[in-house]
Amino acid sequence: MRDVGDCSTCPPACSAGGPGSARIPQAVTARGPSASHTGAGSFGAGCCGPDHGVFDYSDDPGPRDACGVFGVWAPDEDVAKLTYYGLYALQHRGQEAAGIAVADGRTVLVFKELGLVAQVFDEVTLASLSGHVAIGHTRYSTTGSSTWENAQPSYRSSQRGNAVALGHNGNLTNTVELAADLVDTGEDRIRATTDSDLITAMLAAHPGPTLQDAAMAVLPQLAGAFSLVFCDTSTLYAARDTHGVHPLVLGRLGGDAPAAGWVVASETAALDIVGAEFVREIEPGELVVIDAAGPRSRRYAPATPHGCLFEYVYLARPDTTIAGRSVHAARVEVGRTLAREAPADADLVIGVPQSGVPAAVGFAEASRIPYGEGLVKNSYVGRTFIQPSQTIRQRGIRLKLNPLRDVIDGRRLVVVDDSIVRGNTQRALVRMLREAGAAEVHVRISSPPVRWPCFYGIDFATRAELIASSACVEEIRESLGADSLAYVSLDGLVEASRQPAETLCRACFDGVYPVPLPHTDHLGKYLLEDVVSEITAGMNGADPSPDVDSVVQSG
């Protein structure tokens, strides 16, 4: 493991704790009499996911996951439509683009576009995608820009005279090395700027006789986080990185033997939506091959589990189960823990829709303070709405949330939210609640302070943009204008997950990264775009700049 920093920027009095520590934070209260009140087409980026916001939501989009993946092998089913429904269930994991690839034993056909699942596909499109194998993908970009080329599934013709289509959830940490290995393969290999496309290119270029042989050779070369679904013309494959950072599950279609088909998905909720029975999780370091003989397991590397703890906080649907633990139950338990660790003298507990609600219910149960619905969410507002001007923003237009004044007026509130990234959303929320008549606003957060960026598939801001990386709890409270602020402890969150602490990735909270990270020059969302532009310049007869050339060649 690599420990990449400390919490020296946070004064000891604010209970920051060092990397790996889990000190129980005390509620930080305002000093003085009161707190500061102060069919497909060429679609653009899709609507926002399950996150929340107030006023100009785009100013503080909150954490975003890389994507959702889905795959099905079912000869007697409409696999394209099943995949469409599966992607609908995984829309929260990516809203920038969606795509489906189908295989019929002879060819692989890919249809993808920018936009939400419902914007990209219609009945006519789905009817044209026939076969017995399908994979699908919903994307939020964590490497590369939001372009059609970077939408997934990615596609390559292979050395074996076959084709490969692939969907990827996660981020690789050795992208530069992989790109350097593909420099001499021609312009066709560099048309996209994602680590997912590099994986696809490696699988297609491998000289082995089957895609299974290629996967067993390529997967051990990948570092970082990846939950993969991929296919050739006849077979479905699924693979998970050795740490199992993000979830990937196997399901069965049809209750009677033999099975009518097999499904792979990012979350168990997607299995429920398509009527598949949960079989098991794909294990870390495992490749699963699915064809007419059923699922077969191959171990390509030993497992060293470090599942993403933030899946329980925010990323996964509440109706999903991860490692045997209900996400909803975990969030409710976190709320109970938060009430014990940071009680508040208040009249009403409210949750910030949607991911803050289960923890708010748990807080209310443990504190015996009534729970109420104090905020109404407009689920249809996202990044496709017309952006407000600065003047309109200053007038306080409420794009995502609106308070129930009759519930809030004159009451002391506990407001439970899942996390704080930059703080803009919570700052506007506190102001809105005060304008609605709240007597006091006590903010409780159902995760520890997010102080470190994620390099494994969550598009957290850089560390400089994370408010908790440079401000202590009291400073954040003052910035939000809340009467008090408290976070759940890291120990409390881990306990609610019911997973052993050593099997979880907690890097965004403690700065300890289970997968070693390269030099910072080899990290970044748009790293491959710089590499590709320099490679392309070299192919066109120009000399790549010394700086970028050295990055490509150094590995």
Here the tokens at position 298 are: 């191959």
Question: What is the DSSP code (8-state) at residue 201?
Answer: H
Q: Which of 485, 502, 519 is the last residue of a domain?
A: 502
Same domain, 344 and 303: no
Same domain, 149 and 185: yes
Same domain, 330 and 291: no
Instruction: Report d(CA 126, CA 117) in Å as an integer.
Output: 12
Q: Is the residue at 529 inside a domain?
A: no
List, in sequence order, every residue forming a beta bridge with 321; answer none if it has no partner: 326
Question: What is residue 5's predicted lDDT score, i.e. its pLDDT?
Answer: 35
User: What's the domain range around 464?
Assistant: 17-38+326-379+395-502
Asked whether residue 14 is marked as a ligand-binding residue, the answer is no
pLDDT in tens, the chain (555 residues): 433 333 333 433 333 333 333 333 335 555 333 333 333 332 222 222 333 333 333 445 556 556 899 999 999 999 999 999 999 999 999 988 999 999 999 999 999 999 999 999 999 999 999 999 999 999 876 544 567 788 999 999 987 778 999 999 999 999 888 888 776 555 345 555 688 999 999 999 898 899 999 999 999 999 999 999 999 999 999 999 999 999 999 999 987 677 899 999 999 999 999 999 999 999 999 999 999 999 999 999 999 999 999 999 999 999 999 999 999 999 999 999 999 999 999 999 999 998 899 999 999 999 999 999 999 988 776 544 455 555 555 455 577 889 999 999 999 999 999 999 889 889 999 999 999 999 999 999 999 999 999 999 887 758 888 999 999 999 999 999 999 999 999 999 999 999 999 999 999 999 999 998 886 654 554 444 444 444 444 444 433 332 222 222 222
Question: What is residue 487's predicted lDDT score, i.e. its pLDDT?
Answer: 99
Q: Is the residue at 518 inside a domain?
A: no
Active-site residue, selected from the candidate residues 10, 14, 48, 67 = 67
Instruction: Report d(CA 115, CA 127) in Å as an integer.
Output: 19
Q: What is the 3-state secondary structure (H, E, C) of 496-539?
A: HHCCCHHHEECHHHHCEECCCCCCHHHCCCCHHHHHHHHHHHHH
Same domain, 104 and 156: yes
Instruction: Report d(CA 505, CA 169) in Å as an integer.
Output: 16
Asked whether residue 231 is marked as a ligand-binding residue, the answer is no
Q: Is the residue at 29 inside a domain?
A: yes
Sorted by sequence, the CB contacts under 8 Å of residue 18 that are 6+ apart come out as 6, 7
Same domain, 309 and 332: no
Same domain, 249 and 340: no
Asked whether residue 48 is marked as a ligand-binding residue, the answer is no
Same domain, 191 and 330: no
Q: Which three-class secondary structure state does DSSP give residue 408?
A: helix
Measuring CA to CA, how many Å separate 26 from each of 89, 337, 448, 486, 489? 38, 13, 12, 6, 9
Q: Is the residue at 282 inside a domain?
A: yes
Sorted by sequence, the CB contacts under 8 Å of residue 390 that are 6+ apart come out as none
Q: Is the residue at 8 inside a domain?
A: no
Q: Is the residue at 119 inside a domain?
A: yes
Q: How many structural domains comprise the chain? A: 2
Asked whether residue 47 is marked as a ligand-binding residue, the answer is no
Q: Which of 313, 337, 353 is the last residue of a domain?
A: 313
Q: Is the residue at 295 inside a domain?
A: yes
First to last CA, the chain: 20
Same domain, 352 and 423: yes
Question: What is residue 82's predicted lDDT score, i.e. its pLDDT?
Answer: 98
Q: Which of 289, 313, 337 is the last residue of a domain?
A: 313
How far from chain centre, in Å, is Cα 412? 34
Asked whether residue 472 is marked as a ligand-binding residue, the answer is no
Same domain, 134 and 249: yes
Same domain, 309 and 365: no
Question: What is residue 149's predicted lDDT score, i.e. its pLDDT?
Answer: 80
Summarised one tens digit per residue, pLDDT across range 294-346 is 999 999 999 999 999 999 999 999 999 999 999 999 999 999 999 999 999 99
Same domain, 301 and 174: yes
Q: Is the residue at 464 inside a domain?
A: yes
Cα–Cα–Cα angle for 535, 539, 541, rounded to 5 degrees: 120
Here the tokens at position 248 are: 């990937």
Asked whether residue 7 is marked as a ligand-binding residue, the answer is no
Same domain, 372 and 251: no
CATH of residue 286's domain is 3.60.20.10
- For residue 302, whether the previous peptide bond is cis, meaning omega lies within 30 degrees of 0, is no
What is the model's pTM? Answer: 0.83
48 catalytic per annotation = no
CATH of residue 416's domain is 3.40.50.2020
